Amino acid sequence: MTMNNNTSECIIVRGAKVHNLKNVNVNINLHKLTVVTGVSGSGKTSLAFDTIYAEGQRRYVESLSAYARQFLERMDKPDVDEVIGICPAIAISQKNSSRNPRSTVATQTEIFDYLRLLYARIGKTYCHSCGQIVKRDTPESIADEILTLTPATRFYVVFPAFTEIVKSSRSKQTNSVKAHLMSLMQRGFTRLYQEGQIIELQTPESFTGENLENTYVLVDRLVIKADVRQRLIDSIEIAYQSGGGQVGIFTLATAEATSKELYFSENFECKTCKITYLLPEPRLFSFNNPYGACSTCQGFGNTIGIDLDLIIPNRQLSLSAGAVDPWTKPQFDWALLELKDFCKEAQIPMNVAFDDLTPAQQNLIINGDKKAKWMGVKGFFDWLETKKYKLHIRVLLSKYRGYTSCSDCAGARLRQEARDVKIGNKNLPEVLSLSIIKAAKFFDTLSLTETETAIADRLLLEIRRRLHFLLDVGLDYLTLNRLASTLSGGESQRIQLATNLGSSLVGALYVLDEPSIGLHPRDNQRLINILKNLRDIGNTVLVVEHETAMIKSADYVIDVGLGAGEFGGEIIFEGTLEKLLKQENSLTAKYLRGELEVKTPKLRRSIGDKKIEILGASEHNLKNINVEIPLGVMTCITGVSGSGKSTLIHNVLYANLKKQRGEWQEKAGNCRQVLGGKYLSDIILVDQSPIGRTPRSNPVTYIKVYDVIREVFASTKEAKAHGYDASHFSFNVPGGRCETCEGDGTITVEMQFLADVELVCEECKGTRFKSSLLEIKYRNRNIHEVLQLTVREAISFFSNIPRITNKLKVLDDVGLGYLRLGQSATTLSGGEAQRVKLASFLAKRTSEKTLFIFDEPTTGLHFDDINKLLISFRRLIDAGASIVIIEHNLDVIKTSDWIIDLGPEGGEQGGFVIATGRPEEIIELEHSYTGKFLREHLQNCLQEV
Ligand code: ADP
Ligand code: ADP
Ligand code: ZN
Ligand code: ZN
């Protein structure tokens, strides 16, 4: 099949009607960088991903296996008249694509595969007992070594005579010794060597059979001189064959030197310690392979044990106030009594915070004191282990169990023999624990011998290339062994980008979704250069993006609009930036020209006394920092990617505040103390994670308005007549829902090599309900039709039921009026999900004294949407809430009341507080990247107003 049979210079899309697209035509120029922009919900994703990418992927499947093709008919063909000139398409999205919990940065970028090969080919094994290099001796290498001895030295080539027999029992030995000697004689070996004596074997009886271990068979007698090499090699080979891979070279004493016994072996073992090692091969270096994985932890790097953070969840509590959680249970009050006795004796105060006890005192409490007959926390748990046959004890133990680093491999995941193999003095786990910048330096400066270079050159080239791509996309601070599951959406996307750069595919269509997410303005230019590079090597690049610098760098811009949902779906403009700037009706153009802008507030809220104080935060890369977050205002946390923003806000601030309330079971980020929690009635993290993982969750179930809608349907005359109650209108429980798809409306089919494919349920045709239930109508619409309404349409449809409209209006307020009530949670973007969550809090009106935490809330938002979002934030603060935002968007940063800038760089070079203050103060600071970019941004704003 040929995909590129058109000769035109562009991909031509005709009659696209996917989602809200209004039968649009558009051309994408080949080998160019095109940015698709427009307000959130206008149809950018529907065009770029759901039409163009989907068609590219479908054509690609057509060219693949029969197995894949059988689903083709059922694979949704995008609703488009035709797409001409499409090339193989690659989507680089924000979704974390990996489901393997062991997947890491190194495995995702294929660097791991190359490293395994590299270690297998040129790694050197060092004995873990004596540190010597472990080698396997070849006849050639032995000969080379022997020929360095003093010329004219006489020596014997021997092999151990009775290796096998020595291992067997005494009673069997006499007979087998005879048989063995016979067989040796038959093979032509007629001399034995024992402690300096040569024994001539006339008959097997010539040997008396004492001291079997020190008896050798003499293969050859030689003298060191130049032409002896070949004969020596032959003799060693004979000795290896007959002696089970062992050979000895015994020199005779000369005038200058005493006699010497040198041992060599064909086995891969330490000649001194006699420890056998495994030959390096790729599977030895894989923790996914049972052969290479550490057997204690099965390659996970951690094992389950008791977790002190769970046992002492709040280190601010004193011992008498119940710092040791298990001892607050009535059934263990005896342990508390023992603790009291011990504390009295050891003079440990029971009424101060556990954290304020000296390290020695804490140690006594935890590890016990034998002399004082005090068991300690550890002893208590050892005792519990012996009572595990009781169910309630098992339940209790499970509550305090957590992951601890594996005692055997200390988290390295590989078995000892793999860890003994090194290159440039580092073993594989050590290399994997390097940050990308350090790994790049390591491999750039690695010096190899000529032979090693010949074997490993290609591998090294691939490794270096990939590391440099990762540097280019700004991920220098990530370690190679970082788990993929802990990466942010932006980081994960940039890793896919680097991986694709590594594969240097040409002639493909790359479709990207907001690649600037998570990037500080400082690093935007680098990202843009990479996309241009991708284009210049012969690819077509299509980017959905809102960020100004990216729009300004595009060859072509496609502006989708004008509004969202029903009010969008049209191509407002396609062409170059120059022409876009002249457009009258484009919102994007108005913002780019500065006619519209996100206003900088003239007055900022005053900073009061109430604040949250974080003391000594040291999780991940944080450098034992103290941070004050003022309450009742909007605070922005800024800094380059990897500087520590998420660590400070998610792991330290959020987790510790939650832990203080007993609402956090896992480990909270390390810090000495978080003060000020008493000012807060609640702490709410509004992040971009999906609002539900099944298609059965949707915006109206999430904001709890669906319950009311179901009641409305259940209260109709027809429903009552059929005996339907509110639960029949639910897709979560059997009753009214379609049972074929269990209310999903779709069926998921797993494909071997592509992402899973969703197919519309054949039974209910995607309506999710039984046909009998669909006959029940309220104001002439059935439940399925109501779920198809947009939020705005529903507001007028239910206008007489304020319980419904009040909540729906909040969705409209946060800019989601275009969403359909029943649009499944799985199709919402991260930004939309975040705004649905925001709406649910606004609808509850419980925001007084609540601390809201947002993580890049501008994801997916156009300038125009940001204005709306800021209005919602204002409402929350006016109602008494406090807001903390992790953000790179300069329009949001400039409107904040307070900025906390972290840095200066990502990873180890970050984790410091660089600056704090009002935006006007931050822009004066030379050493803050945020200050520098904010200053430029504000100058532009002023010029353009
Ligand atoms: P953008 O990418 O510009 O934010 P989208 O293309 O995601 O906009 O959405 C355009 C419209 O299509 C919106 O009204 C959105 O709610 C709707 N939409 C998006 N995905 C789906 C879907 N899977 N099913 C139904 N409607 C959808
Ligand atoms: P930011 O939010 O500013 O981009 P992060 O807080 O995500 O920065 O990262 C700060 C540092 O901590 C980086 O070096 C990062 O690699 C490291 N880090 C973050 N999360 C984890 C994790 N789950 N495991 C190990 N290291 C992490
Ligand atoms: Zn282990
Ligand atoms: Zn169904």
Model confidence pLDDT, tens digit, residues 905-935 = 989 999 999 999 999 999 999 999 999 999 9
Distance CA 49, CA 51 (A): 6
| CA neighbor of 596 nearest in space, from 584, 588, 585 | 588
Find the mean pLDDT for residues 336-352: 94
CA distance 446 to 480: 18
| Cα 741 to ligand 4 centroid, rounded to whole Å | 4
Count of beta carbons in the 10 Å neighbourhood of residue 738:
23
User: Looking at residue 389, what is its pLDDT?
Assistant: 84
State residue 219's pLDDT score. Answer: 95
Question: Which residues lie closer than 8 Å to 642 by C-beta, 6 or more apart?
Answer: 475, 476, 477, 478, 621, 905, 906, 907, 910
Determine phi and psi for 318, rounding to 5 degrees. Answer: -85, 170
- Closest-CA residue to 921 (of 938, 903, 945): 938
Residue of 433, 522, 620 with the most ligand 2 atoms within 8 Å of its CB, for mutation: 620
Question: What is the arithmetic mean of pLDDT over 48-77?
Answer: 76
CA of 574 from ligand 1 middle (Å) equals 20
pLDDT-wise least confident of 327-341, 599-613, 829-843: 829-843
**Least reliable range by pLDDT among 90-94, 365-369, 444-448, 467-471:** 90-94
pLDDT of residue 134: 92
**If pLDDT is split at 50, 70 and 90, which confidence band does 945 have?**
very low
Contact status, residue 866 vs residue 834, Cβ threshold 8 Å: no
Amino acid 503: pLDDT: 72
19 CA closest ligand 1 atom index: 12
User: Is residue 700 pLDDT above 90, yes or no?
Assistant: yes
Under the banding of pLDDT at 50, 70 and 90, the label for residue 4 is: very low
CA distance 118 to 110: 13
How much is the pLDDT for 308? 83
Instruction: Please answer whether residues 317 and 323 qualify as being in contact, where contact means their C-beta atoms are separated by less than 8 angstroms.
Output: yes
Instruction: Please give the average per-residue pLDDT across 535-546, as a whole number.
Output: 93
**Mean pLDDT across the chain:** 89
Instruction: Give the global pTM.
Output: 0.78
Give the least confident one: 104-113, 187-196, 689-698.
689-698
Better pLDDT: 491 or 647: 647
Confidence of residue 504 (pLDDT cuts 50, 70, 90): low
Q: How many CB atoms lie within 10 A of CB 634?
A: 25
Q: Is 909 exposed, middle or buried (0-12, 13-18, 19+ CB in 10 A)?
A: middle
Task: Check residue 843 and give its pLDDT.
Answer: 83
C-alpha dist (Å) from residue 40 to 543, 562, 564, 733 = 15, 10, 6, 33
Q: Which of 530, 533, 554 is nearest to 544 (CA)?
A: 554
Name the percent of the chain lying above pLDDT 90.
57
What was the pLDDT predicted at 70?
A: 67
**Does the Cβ of 643 fall within 6 Å of ligand 2?**
yes
Q: What is the DSSP letter of 497?
A: H
pLDDT at 335: 92
Does 783 score more than 80 pLDDT? yes
Q: How many A from CA of 168 to the centre of ligand 4?
A: 72
Closest CA to 656 of 695, 692, 689, 618: 618
Angle, helix 706-714 to helix 802-811, in steps of 10 degrees: 150
**Phi, psi of 387, rounded to the nearest 5 degrees:** -110, 20
**Mean local confidence (pLDDT), 250-263:** 88
Given the CA of residue 564, which atom of ligand 1 is nearest to it? 14
pLDDT of residue 163: 79
**CA-CA distance, 697 to 745, in Å (whole number)?**
12
Among all bound ligands, the one having the nearest atom to the CA of 833 is 1
pLDDT in tens, 71-112: 666 566 889 999 999 988 888 877 655 567 778 999 999 999
Nearest-angstrom CA–CA distance, 184 and 199: 14
First to last CA, the chain: 55
The bound ligand whose nearest atom lies closest to the alpha carbon of 416 is 3
Give residue 751's pLDDT band: very low, low, confident or very high (50, 70, 90). Answer: low
Determine if ligand 2 sits within 6 Å of the CB of residue 477. Answer: yes
d(CA 902, ligand 2 centre) in Å: 13
Summary count for the chain: helices (H), strands (E): 36, 32
Report which protein residue has its CA nearest ligand 2's atom 1: 642
- What are the contacts of 199-202 at 24+ separation with CB within 8 A? none
Torsion of CA 522, 523, 526, 532, to 10 degrees: -100
Q: Which residues pair with 421 in a beta bridge?
A: 125
pLDDT for the residue numbered 944? 43
- Give percent of the chain with pLDDT exceeding 70: 94
More confident residue, 5 or 96: 96
| Buried-exposed string 581-599: b where 16+ CB fall within 10 A, e elsewhere | eebeebbbbbbbeeebbbe
Give the pocket of ligand 1 (CB within 6 Å): 19-20, 38, 40-46, 565, 818-820, 823, 827, 860
Q: How many CB atoms lie within 10 A of CB 7?
A: 6
Taking the CA of 768 as reference, the closest ligand is 4
Ligand 2 centre and the CA of 893: distance in Å?
Answer: 22
Per-residue pLDDT at 421: 97
CA of 566 to the centre of ligand 1 (A): 10
**Neighbour tally for 773: CB within 10 Å:** 23
Q: Return the higher-pLDDT residue of 427 and 167.
A: 427
Q: Average of pLDDT values for 417-430?
A: 95
Atom of ligand 2 nearest to the CA of 486: 23
- Of 724 and 941, which is predicted with more confidence? 724
Distance from residue 396's CA to the centre of ligand 1 (Å) = 47
Lay out the sheet containing 625-630: strands in order across: 625-630, 611-617, 673-675
> Averaged over 730-734, what is the pLDDT?
89
**Mean pLDDT calculated for residue range 740-745:** 90
Question: In the numeric block, which tokens belong to residue 637?
Answer: 């946390």
Whether the pLDDT of residue 523 is over 90: the answer is no
Per-residue three-class SS string for 801-824: CHHHHHHHHHHHHHHHCCCECCCC
pLDDT greater at residue 391 or residue 525: 525
Tokens 């998921």 belong to residue: 748
For 118-132, what is each residue's pLDDT tens digit?
A: 999 999 999 999 999
CA dihedral angle for residue 147, residue 150, residue 156, residue 157, rounded to 10 degrees: -20
The atom of ligand 2 lying closest to the CA of 518 is 4
Distance CA 34, CA 698 (A): 32
Q: Is the pLDDT of residue 943 over 70?
A: no
State mean pLDDT over 301-319.
Answer: 83
Tell me whether strands 24-29 and 191-194 are parallel, antiparallel or unpaired. Answer: unpaired
Name the residue of 432, 438, 621 whose CB sits within 8 Å of the most ligand 2 atoms, as the mutation to test its pocket: 621
818, 823, 858: which to mutate for ligand 1, most atoms within 8 A of CB?
A: 823
In this structure, the residue with its CA closest to atom 16 of ligand 1 is 819
Query: What ranges in 160-290 are assigned the alpha helix state H?
Result: 163-167, 170-186, 229-242
Pocket test for ligand 1, best of 26, 46, 511, 866 (most atoms within 8 A of CB): 46
- Checking if the pLDDT of 679 tops 90, the result is yes
> Ligand 2 centre from 172 Cα, in Å?
66
Helix (H, G, I), strand (E, B) or coil at 322: coil
As a whole number, mean pLDDT of residues 552-567 equals 91
Poorest-confidence range of 128-137, 176-185, 399-408, 675-684? Answer: 399-408
